[in-house]
Amino acid sequence: MTATTDGSTGATLPTRAAAASDTAHTTPEAAGVQKAAAHAVRRATDFLLSKQDAEGWWKGDLETNVTMDAEDLLLRQFLGIADEATTEAAALFIRGEQREDGTWATFYKGPGELSTTIEAYVALRLAGDSPDDPHMAKASAWIREQGGIAASRVFTRIWLALFGWWKWEDLPELPPELIYFPTWVPLNIYDFGCWARQTIVPLTIVSAKRPVRPAPFPLDELHTDPSVPNPPQPMAPVASWDGAFQRIDKVLHAYRKVAPRRLRRAAMNTAARWIVERQENDGCWGGIQPPAVYSIIALHLLGYDLNHPVMRAGLESLDRFAVRREDGARMIEACQSPVWDTCLATIALADAGVPADHPQLVKASDWMLGEQIVRPGDWSVRRPGLPPGGWAFEFHNDNYPDIDDTAEVVLALRRVRHHDPERVEKAIGRGVRWNLGMQSKNGAWGAFDVDNTSPFPNRLPFCDFGEVIDPPSADVTAHVVEMLAVEGLSHDPRTRRGIQWLLAEQEPDGSWFGRWGVNYIYGTGSVVPALTAAGLPGSHPAIRRAVAWLESVQNDDGGWGEDLRSYKYVKEWSGKGASTASQTGWALMALLAAGEKESKAVERGVEWLAATQREDGSWDEPYFTGTGFPWDFSINYHLYRQVFPLTALGRYVHGEPFADRSAAEKEAAGQPLAEAQGS
């Protein structure tokens, strides 16, 4: 069998010619599928290569929902910097996302969502839409039917309070003195996930200041009873967690009236320093839009004028989150994903047979190497002695590298034959060591922090939207285990603990929960390749249960799909939904790793991908298959529809990556890390 050798790892990878010759030993029907797959791989490879930036990275649009666009307009209104062109472009996008029933959803073909609809409605009012316009009247009627503003989430009511549309005293209290809590005290800021932490710290300043800008219009039409806009909310039983925290909130409201002024002022100044110290080089905070928005408001309330370098850089960074569409609409990305997209694209292209020393893969490798973070961040609060070495998700986010990106970048770098292998080995060694150091007590890995599992933050009345902690998840843990296996560390005790945790987390039906992708298909598509890479045979009971589950949820058209409703209604929606290219790719990656290449399920899945590919080599995917917070905040990664189908088809045509490496080669791959740890 003809093969090429990956010089960075010693892995033997089959060439296109070798894969084609293998079809001579298959049935005519299978040979036809193989031919269709090979054709799809060539077209998808050309398409993906054409989308690389000249600097070496890939980045697809990161689509969420219109709250990003609405809050951007509300921020500009609050700061007094709204301009007609920006407002109209944003309004054009928001109007275009409205559903037939007058509502706005948080994901494609999802149900109308109250807070999202309220924020979209208010943004359109700012843009000049009249409450009597048919689309606005339909929206306001639906809002009232759902309980009006009083039934919306806390974050929506905070935005409305900024303009006097809601009373600050009717919002949960968030004291800035929280910044002084040591890490051993419950509800200190490091008990929150990094995304929540970056948002809560500036909001403590906003909550303390309680600013109100003159409202440009009333919002009586959004209350069920305008004469009682803030109806009293019932208290939960005192013996319940919710009841306990509601009563704590009442105590905090009382404390506000007697809080020593010097202490409060000092706490706000300390919080401001914390915020400024974490501003990234591009002006943003954490590489994501929400903390940037609240940080700008908080600093402005403390006297930072709009021409201050911190404020100017922050506002400029927000403009870089804007995506202009062909119709003139302006969509705001909640975040940007160049590191994630680039490592996934590199893996896809390498697994599709692109030579390991292809100039575009080398350029991608160079760019990823330049993005490694070599200074401590907030993660070091829990791991003060751990040397840095991770990668972040975004262009600029040195404070918060994440474990998932680091694992996938290492897997991508291992697939490229770089002209400076020593540089690559050092970078990989740092990344692997950092990931190992970020393992939680239970043997698994979260996304950003270690043991970020406190039960208290999610109980706060303030935290009624999305996840605010970062516990270990099956998908992140699987990616780390797969990376460690490729690095020759399958038998390392830390890897084995991760494997044992994954086996214990398998659902009764054979699937795994997906925290950062939708949902059980993503979890299963992540875990099975990791377990087999780590040495579990395809005959292992856990693998067989996963295969049986994937086969049971395959759609009649041959593809796989899962709706975001599986996060809320597990039994009805687990593994169920319209077929998508990315989710079909995940299912195929799991089945191929389990040794099911010759199965009918794989054949039908490959056929579906080949049949739904566009002429230019791409796939269409309007459905959201990623998450920020399961159910509450959904993401459509526009590059997912390209990289995961190509990865799956490439492995179908060329075989599993690293499958031919000997035990000695795997051990050799782990040697640089062992030497680094010993030195």
- Identify whether residues 429 and 549 lie together within a single domain: yes
Can you tell me which residue has the tokens 């975001």? Answer: 564
DSSP 8-state secondary structure symbol assigned to residue 56: S
Residue 28: what residue type?
P
CA-closest candidate to residue 224, choices 153, 147, 170: 147
Beta strands across the sheet bearing 626-629: 62-63, 633-637, 626-629
Look up residue 533 and give its two tokens.
């890479």
pLDDT at 8 over 70: no
Query: How far is the C-alpha of 373 from the C-alpha of 431, rounded, in Å?
Result: 9
Query: Collapsing DSSP states into helix, strand and coil, what is residue 12?
Result: strand
- Identify whether residues 433 and 294 lie together within a single domain: no
Which helix (H) or strand (E) is 547 found in, with range? helix 541-552
Question: Tell me, what CATH number does 526's domain have?
Answer: 1.50.10.20
Active-site positions? 404
Torsional sign, CA 624, 627, 628, 631: positive
- Identify whether residues 603 and 482 lie together within a single domain: yes
Query: How far is the C-alpha of 604 from the C-alpha of 606, rounded, in Å?
Result: 5
- Identify whether residues 387 and 315 lie together within a single domain: no
Quote the pLDDT of residue 26: 57
Q: What are the Cα distances from residue 212, in Å, to 258, 323, 614, 641?
A: 22, 30, 51, 44
Quote the pLDDT of residue 662: 52
Residue 447: what residue type?
A
First to last CA, the chain: 41
Strand partners, 105: 112
More reliable by pLDDT, 607 or 9: 607
Strand partners, 14: 3
More reliable by pLDDT, 253 or 630: 630
Query: How far is the C-alpha of 28 from the C-alpha of 34, rounded, in Å?
Result: 10
pLDDT at 455 over 90: no
Q: Which domain does 187 fall in, by range?
A: 172-215+233-333
Tally of domains in the chain: 2
- Confidence bin at 78 (pLDDT 50/70/90): very high
Query: How far is the C-alpha of 584 from the C-alpha of 587, rounded, in Å?
Result: 5
pLDDT at 538 over 60: yes
Can you tell me which residue has the tokens 């690389």? Answer: 52
Quote the pLDDT of residue 240: 75
Query: How far is the C-alpha of 48 from the C-alpha of 43, rounded, in Å?
Result: 9
Query: How far is the C-alpha of 275 from the C-alpha of 297, rounded, in Å?
Result: 12
Choose the final residue of a domain: 284, 306, 333. 333
- Identify whether residues 352 and 256 lie together within a single domain: no
Torsional sign, CA 131, 134, 136, 138: positive
Query: Collapsing DSSP states into helix, strand and coil, what is residue 469?
Result: coil
- Identify whether residues 179 and 304 lie together within a single domain: yes
- Identify whether residues 252 and 368 lie together within a single domain: no
Sort 143 into a burial class: Cβ within 10 Å, 0-12 / 13-18 / 19+. buried
- Identify whether residues 291 and 422 lie together within a single domain: no
Look up residue 669 and give its two tokens.
């791959």
CA-closest candidate to residue 389, choices 433, 330, 355, 357: 433
CA-closest candidate to residue 352, choices 344, 363, 362, 341: 344
Tens-digit pLDDT profile for residues 98-148: 999 999 999 999 999 999 999 999 999 999 999 999 999 999 999 999 999
- Confidence bin at 10 (pLDDT 50/70/90): very low
CA-closest candidate to residue 201, choices 134, 291, 293, 118: 291
Query: How far is the C-alpha of 494 from the C-alpha of 497, rounded, in Å?
Result: 5
Residue 252 lies in a domain: yes
Quote the pLDDT of residue 464: 79
Percent composition of the chain: helix, strand, coil (DSSP 3-state, to 5): 55, 5, 40
Buried b (16+ CB within 10 A) or exposed e, 533-569: bbebeeebebbebbbebbbebbbebbbbbbbbbbbee
Residue 9 lies in a domain: no
Residue 599: what residue type?
S
Quote the pLDDT of residue 18: 38
Torsional sign, CA 662, 666, 669, 675: negative
Can you tell me which residue has the tokens 């034959």? Answer: 417
pLDDT at 550 over 90: yes
CB 8 within 8 A of CB 350: no
Looking at the whole model, is its pTM more than 0.85?
yes
Look up residue 279 and give its two tokens.
């501003």
Look at 351-360, 448-457, 614-623, 668-677 and tell me which has the smallest mean pLDDT: 668-677
Residue 569 lies in a domain: yes
Mean pLDDT over all residues of the chain?
91
Annotate 402-424 with DSSP letters as a single string: BHHHHHHHHHHHTTS--S-HHHH
Tens-digit pLDDT profile for residues 645-679: 999 999 999 998 887 665 555 555 545 444 444 32
What 3 state SS string does 79-132 have? Answer: HCCCCHHHHHHHHHHHHHCCCCCCCCECCCCCCECHHHHHHHHHHHHHCCCCCC
- Identify whether residues 275 and 296 lie together within a single domain: yes
Strand partners, 323: 331
Q: How far is CA 246 from the centre of its chain?
A: 31
Query: Collapsing DSSP states into helix, strand and coil, what is residue 604?
Result: helix
Can you tell me which residue has the tokens 């939680």? Answer: 440
Choose the final residue of a domain: 299, 318, 333. 333
- Identify whether residues 406 and 303 lie together within a single domain: no
Quote the pLDDT of residue 663: 54
E strand residue ranges, 235-347: 322-324, 330-332
| Cα dihedral 398→401→405→406 (10° resolution) | 100
- Identify whether residues 538 and 572 lie together within a single domain: yes
Residue 429 lies in a domain: yes
Strand partners, 517: 626
Residue 130 lies in a domain: no
Residue 374 lies in a domain: yes
Look up residue 72 and give its two tokens.
């951007």
Can you tell me which residue has the tokens 């079809």? Answer: 23
Q: What percent of the chain has pLDDT over 70?
A: 92
Look up residue 213 and give its two tokens.
């800008």
Residue 138 lies in a domain: no
Q: Angle 335-447-460 (CA atoms, 0-180°, nearest 5)?
A: 85
In angstroms, how far apart are the furthest CA atoms of the chain? 83
Overall average pLDDT of the 328-344 stretch: 96
CB neighbourhood size of 618 (10 A): 19
Quote the pLDDT of residue 23: 40
| Cα dihedral 235→239→242→248 (10° resolution) | 80
CA-closest candidate to residue 515, choices 472, 481, 546, 485: 472
Q: Angle 89-92-94 (CA atoms, 0-180°, nearest 5)?
A: 110
Choose the final residue of a domain: 311, 333, 355. 333
Strand partners, 634: 627
- Identify whether residues 266 and 411 lie together within a single domain: no
Buried b (16+ CB within 10 A) or exposed e, 480-492: bbbbbbbbbbbeb
Residue 455 lies in a domain: no
Tens-digit pLDDT profile for residues 479-515: 999 999 999 999 999 999 999 999 999 999 999 999 9
Which helix (H) or strand (E) is 361 found in, with range? helix 359-370
Can you tell me which residue has the tokens 């590059």? Answer: 639
Quote the pLDDT of residue 667: 55
Phi, psi angle pair for 223, to nearest 5°: -105, 145
